[in-house]
Structure 1
């Protein structure tokens, strides 16, 4: 069967394809290959049949150079990384390819420049108007913007053609002049003179067309600038109107509440105080459904404004409506909803507290590691009596709170108009929590039963969280650190689910954590790796992001600690690609086109090729403090976690004596204090067991355990875990079906009153 020898244009899109000879090596020389030029990418295959599954190579023309060797040969190079030596069947065919390649290169470079200037078109898109507030204006602006982009693309095409015609016309004129200088006679001379005359007419016509195109280009650019200025003025005016409307809505709600409160107070009497209070409670609940940012109307820094960067005001994750619950070792972490996070004006006037930036340097204590480790192989880490030499001076509850270090990613996510773009920020947030582990080879203190930790950063960042150790580490529920020591390495496998809920859009995200492995436990330098896969799921829209943490391999050519991911909608269509490393940064880029190949190599796996715009950086790790290596490689946030602070609960990790002694460098005293606390915890557990058995012996089993514990099969076989959490209650998660602990309230109120009744004596 004969195959085409010339390139053939493809009607759909700016594409070109055909047979070209490609240099392979000195043995085989030039071999014929099928080349396809599409969307600024030049790909080649051995045959046309391979186009559906096996691409032999691809080069991006945006940064490539195209040079001509002789009549039929030309070279395409991409900065030395890729170089194709090609040969066309004839000079005309070579010129067709050169013209197509030059056009494709100009378009690819222009697209890349537009992507850099527009931030993947995110910042150029007008903000979407809320429902019922002029949504049509946003649609009209989007249509005009799309029309401007199309016209701009066509104008750039004209400009590129203008340059090419001028370039090739000059080359043709030089060649004809060289022929004319040969002074040929006879028929050849007549033919040359005819060609010269026709070339001169062609040059005159081309120059006229070029001048007309240049005038059109100048007019189009001038009008484009005016249209863009008009659009920008309209956008700014809309932002000002929205801000004004928001302020009016707040003032209206404030006046309405004040009016209702005054009316209720005027009608109140001594006999119906409780009834009036109930009526006020109902009115308050009704207001919560209709007001704008009413829960923080006394705190200006929490006001959310439209996402235009010049009018942007920083808002906290709470003000944006973010709600998270995280648990580990059955430690439940809850970031409190906005309605529970109000502040009085007097608190707002207080200056920000200056946090500490250093802790005492880590002392150099020697330890016989093998004498401790040889009896621990195969045991759970929580059952190994470890000295503080293996610890860092913070508890697991404080370590969990470090996950909120990059909370600004969630702040940015609340401002995204697209749930798919918001998914990119949530996925980056799930990766950012691992950046603190790259040098942190020491383990945190295991929390005591009933131990708590609060992280209050409302003044600095607008969020706060509360953690509580709600059961013994032996019971693996919720987000559990199931640790196993295998001799050479230690694996830490979190088992539970993390939730992130955004009030705006009501998007509910869940994800799990990957496995953390500590290598070279016995011999060599300790190092940490993260491996596994994460599915970040938006249960509201069905969007999903699949993240893969590649395990370290000595033989891999990939960058170490690599993370890749794809954001897909509910139908499985890819919209964004994420890439980066869990210890440094993450980027995401918009998918413009994807193609799925067939079998690849001996593994039989299918590879999907995504054509994307230029990547945008979404997260970068904060630099470590100066001399961090002498302070357990703590981050700036971690240095403040164990800083003494008042008032906090008597069960707060900051009050832990063994942890405090270790931080101050008194490790021998810390080890003694750690043994005392563990023995005190064992005595308290035995006391609970005796009390439970006594209750059951007298026929009052219900007084010993709560409803959830009574229905737990593990409680029937292990009555000694009879402990009821103080600030959390156990229930079934409606999304995952898992048993979780939800914050039931009361902690921040107790802190405000300074009354800590019911807190166990654990220290």
Structure 2
């Protein structure tokens, strides 16, 4: 375009002005963007050739794609900057052309100015369209790249998982071969099934060469030992191993024929409760008021509960008390330990379907179980603290044992699941032998709190110690795993004496049964590929110690209560006025009147808060204001008292006596009015 003298606007298009430089820069960026977008387009477009051989993107391809997207984003920013500057200078150019149009200039120059203005407008519109097209293309490319990145990441994770599984199987195979070659009395047929960690499972097919030895499968690293089952007639000796007697010293005690108590009960108990009504519940209307609050302080409606209190739930642990009645007659402390371990595991059997929470007891609430006639025991529980919730428990058996504990419940909500950690030691003492056993409960986990079907699992290690003989039992509650070939809810363990010598191996599941097998020989296995070495135990055939009672008919409509649980809230005359069976909201819920139960529950909780404020006021008059809040939480239990436990070194509530004497006299004047 020829220059017109006196027209500075037109002359500026010919020289290196900023606007012209930007236009040139923009024109130079376009082919570069097109060049960069081409490989991206090739990468994102589906391959219609049908050849999937090279369809899997490598990490290098993924990184290159990531870098390309990053570079494109930077170039898009440059384009946006250029677009803004082009629009700015284009507006200024049009304004200048309009001003020139108003001046007195020759007609020929006016026509040229008009043509320049039109071209500038078209150029600006075209540049804006180009910028928008580039932006749309890049957004489309980013969308497809994210989709393929997610697919690629998923496939990579699956590949890594499969590689880890194959590697684990290879390690197992190698380790099992080594253990098989070094196991004492190994079968002549090397194709027999053999693996690590699992004990006392159902027998499979035996090899024709050796019908007396059997090996079992388990998950890698589930336990630290390997078990080999042999018949008593096979008194094999392992080189460098430990030999022991092959006879059971107390067959009449550890025999499964006496698992179920004999004789009908003298008092007829109820065998059913009203069916659970089907109430709808707006979860959000409840949870929105609970955000940020401590879990134990959240007021929950009875819709989440079962019609039993925590005190009654704690008493349910005594359902298989006959295991302890049998343990009284054991002459061997390690055999007695086996039955104590089975009793400790049996307390979890009622929780497998019981996903509803029990009622939180009121402070001072009690629950008695007076079953000397049929069960041979008396049990008393009292709620000794409200925050944190803590219950003291004492059991006396006429068969020669007593049990006591103080359990504090600590819970943590972790989003998808709820962890319930019982804190406190459980004490069991046999009067004749003086054997004093102490253990602690495992962690309970409630899964699928937000979405899905609720289910509960027990996990962790439990150590039972006989503080008189120093015998120990190490129990391991294996967590459920979708990829595990083990049975769900599995428990394994080893019983050892004070010298560390293993005498029994235990196995089973906490919701079904427990078995024990006597160890006759032990020897170390060959180290595995990862350097770990397990102990090989050669045992006698397993004996069944405990098996869960079947649930009553229609249990699914009665909160999955066991036969004992159905009787716990049965009305009984002569109990203390603080007994859980007299709690009105719990009774209304059991009858199916949930709306009335919720109203009554709120009344009781408000009454408890009023009583706490009264203690606070009484304490503030006798002590400083700073100590008032602390002292307000100090509650003096009625039937228990704080003592220093000489065994654990902890302070715990221990039964101080007087309850059964008060019941005999029907003198309850000392009981608080909590209901």
Equivalence map 1:73-88=2 (5 Å): none
1:504 aligns to what SS in structure 2?
A: coil
Distance in 1 of aligned mates of 2:474 and 2:180: 35
Give the aligned partner of residue 242 of structure 1: none
How far the C-alpha of 1:354 sits from its partner, in A, is 0.8
2:385 pairs with one of 453, 471, 490: 471
Distance in 1 of aligned mates of 2:214 and 2:510: 29
1:591 equivalenced with 2:524 (yes/no): no
Distance in 2 of aligned mates of 1:544 and 1:681: 43
Deviation string for 1:537-567 (max 9, x for gaps)? 0000000000000000111111110000000
741-750 or 718-727, which deviates more: 718-727
8 Å contact from structure 2 (residues 584, 600) kept in 1: yes
1:610 equivalenced with 2:524 (yes/no): no
Deviation string for 1:683-703 (max 9, x for gaps)? 000000100111226xxx9xx
How far the C-alpha of 1:727 sits from its partner, in A, is 0.5
Give the aligned partner of residue 572 of structure 2: 645
How far the C-alpha of 1:600 sits from its partner, in A, is 2.6
1:536 pairs with one of 460, 464, 486: 464
2:508 aligns to what SS in structure 1?
A: strand
Q: 1:62 to 1:584 in 2, by over 3 A?
A: closer
1:427 pairs with one of 341, 345, 357: 341
Give the aligned partner of residue 353 of structure 2: 439
1:510 equivalenced with 2:438 (yes/no): yes
8 Å contact from structure 1 (residues 476, 482) kept in 2: no
2:645 pairs with one of 723, 733, 752: 733
Q: 1:736 to 1:109 in 2, by over 3 A?
A: closer
Distance in 2 of aligned mates of 1:655 and 1:466: 15
Distance in 2 of aligned mates of 1:743 and 1:537: 22
Give the aligned partner of residue 367 of structure 2: 453
Give the aligned partner of residue 499 of structure 2: 571
Distance in 2 of aligned mates of 1:525 and 1:424: 35
Distance in 1 of aligned mates of 2:555 and 2:311: 21
How far the C-alpha of 1:479 sits from its partner, in A, is 1.9
Distance in 1 of aligned mates of 2:344 and 2:363: 27
Distance in 2 of aligned mates of 1:661 and 1:442: 17
2:270 pairs with one of 350, 356, 361: 356
732-741 or 377-386, which deviates more: 377-386
1:696 equivalenced with 2:610 (yes/no): no
Q: 1:358 to 1:120 in 2, by over 3 A?
A: farther
How far the C-alpha of 1:392 sits from its partner, in A, is 0.2
Distance in 1 of aligned mates of 2:655 and 2:630: 25
2:564 aligns to what SS in structure 1?
A: helix
Equivalence map 1:742-757=2 (5 Å): 742-757=654-669
8 Å contact from structure 1 (residues 36, 44) kept in 2: no
Give the aligned partner of residue 316 of structure 2: 402
How far the C-alpha of 1:480 sits from its partner, in A, is 1.2
Give the aligned partner of residue 425 of structure 2: 497
2:286 pairs with one of 361, 365, 372: 372
8 Å contact from structure 2 (residues 250, 331) kept in 1: no
Distance in 2 of aligned mates of 1:610 and 1:77: 15
1:121 pairs with one of 237, 247, 250: 247
8 Å contact from structure 1 (residues 482, 495) kept in 2: yes
Deviation string for 1:642-689 (max 9, x for gaps)? 000010000000000000000000000000000000000000000001
8 Å contact from structure 2 (residues 231, 541) kept in 1: no
How far the C-alpha of 1:591 sits from its partner, in A, is 0.6
Distance in 2 of aligned mates of 1:538 and 1:80: 31
8 Å contact from structure 2 (residues 640, 653) kept in 1: yes
Give the aligned partner of residue 256 of structure 1: none
Deviation string for 1:303-357 (max 9, x for gaps)? xxxx799xx99999xxxxxxxxxxxxxxxxxxxxxxxxxxxxxxxxxx9221000
How far the C-alpha of 1:66 sits from its partner, in A, is 3.8
2:487 pairs with one of 559, 572, 589: 559
2:662 aligns to what SS in structure 1?
A: helix
Give the aligned partner of residue 674 of structure 2: 762
Give the aligned partner of residue 587 of structure 2: 660
2:654 aligns to what SS in structure 1?
A: strand
How far the C-alpha of 1:474 sits from its partner, in A, is 2.4
Which structure exhibits the higher relative contact order, with contacts defined as CA atoms closer than 8 Å and separated by 6 or more residues? 2
Give the aligned partner of residue 619 of structure 1: 546
Distance in 2 of aligned mates of 1:678 and 1:656: 12
Q: 1:476 to 1:377 in 2, by over 3 A?
A: farther
Distance in 1 of aligned mates of 2:291 and 2:569: 31
Distance in 2 of aligned mates of 1:413 and 1:34: 36
Give the aligned partner of residue 290 of structure 1: none
2:185 pairs with one of 13, 21, 39: 39
8 Å contact from structure 2 (residues 334, 503) kept in 1: yes
Q: What is the RMSD of the two structures over their aligned residues, measured on CA atoms?
A: 3.7
Q: TM-score, normalised by structure 2?
A: 0.62
8 Å contact from structure 1 (residues 64, 77) kept in 2: no
Distance in 2 of aligned mates of 1:120 and 1:77: 14
Q: 1:456 to 1:77 in 2, by over 3 A?
A: closer
Distance in 1 of aligned mates of 2:450 and 2:649: 40
How far the C-alpha of 1:78 sits from its partner, in A, is 9.3
Equivalence map 1:11-160=2 (5 Å): 38-39=184-185, 41-42=187-188, 63-66=206-209, 110-111=233-234, 121-122=247-248
How far the C-alpha of 1:490 sits from its partner, in A, is 1.0
- Any unmatched runs of 5+ in structure 1? 1-30, 46-52, 54-59, 68-75, 83-106, 113-118, 128-306, 317-350, 702-713
Aligned length: 453
How far the C-alpha of 1:381 sits from its partner, in A, is 2.9
How far the C-alpha of 1:722 sits from its partner, in A, is 3.0
How far the C-alpha of 1:492 sits from its partner, in A, is 0.4
8 Å contact from structure 2 (residues 476, 493) kept in 1: yes
8 Å contact from structure 1 (residues 729, 743) kept in 2: yes
1:393 pairs with one of 307, 312, 326: 307
Equivalence map 1:177-196=2 (5 Å): none
Give the aligned partner of residue 272 of structure 1: none
1:582 pairs with one of 496, 507, 510: 510
How far the C-alpha of 1:481 sits from its partner, in A, is 1.0
Q: 1:314 to 1:747 in 2, by over 3 A?
A: farther
How far the C-alpha of 1:443 sits from its partner, in A, is 0.3
Q: 1:34 to 1:491 in 2, by over 3 A?
A: closer
How far the C-alpha of 1:122 sits from its partner, in A, is 2.9
Distance in 2 of aligned mates of 1:369 and 1:672: 18
How far the C-alpha of 1:599 sits from its partner, in A, is 4.0
Distance in 1 of aligned mates of 2:670 and 2:616: 19
How far the C-alpha of 1:621 sits from its partner, in A, is 0.3
Give the aligned partner of residue 560 of structure 2: 633
Rg larger in 1 or in 2?
A: 2
Distance in 1 of aligned mates of 2:209 and 2:351: 46
Deviation string for 1:274-306 (max 9, x for gaps)? xxxxxxxxxxxxxxxxxxxxxxxxxxxxxxxxx
Distance in 2 of aligned mates of 1:121 and 1:550: 31
